[in-house]
Structure 1
Amino acid sequence: MKPEQVKGALEQAAGKVQGVLGELTGDKLTQFEGKARQSAGELQERYGDLLDEWATVLQRRPRTTLFAVAGITLAVVWLLKRRQI
């Protein structure tokens, strides 16, 4: 499990706790902050999932990854040179 996934899960839990505390105290701002924190944690966890998937792809298909990166690099260079004209 990637560190981003762990941090995201912890942030989600903290957001959930903060939201519940906001509900118990009747503080709308704390509730909102808890929901926002929970959503941020979910995004961070999904980012970790994405990194994990890409690491797997890179390990299983290094040649395909190399060609893809080379193609993207050539496309970016071509677009930048074309823009300079």
Structure 2
Amino acid sequence: RMVGRNVGSLRVLLDNNAYPVWEQSQSKDQGWQTELLTVSWKEEAPQSIIFEAQRGTGVGGEIGLDNVALTSGPCQEDLGPVF
């Protein structure tokens, strides 16, 4: 969830890599959002997955993560409701 005018950004990185595999810097809406991210690699699997939140300028922004699930295989589209 990313809410507020000064929300900042959220990134997903693997093994402290300098380049994020996913990034969002603006709120799409005020509610919770479902994001599906398939991560693949050619050689060795990553040892860590980093969720990095960067504060925006001023006040009036928040970032929250909930129900993070790691599974083997490609993401399956979840059409169920998000509360």
TM class by smaller structure:
under 0.3
Bigger strand share = 2
Bigger helix share = 1
Q: TM-score, normalised by structure 2?
A: 0.19
Structure ID, larger Rg? 1
Q: TM-score, normalised by structure 1?
A: 0.19
Report 1 or 2 for greater relative contact order, CA contacts < 8 Å, sequence distance ≥ 6.
2
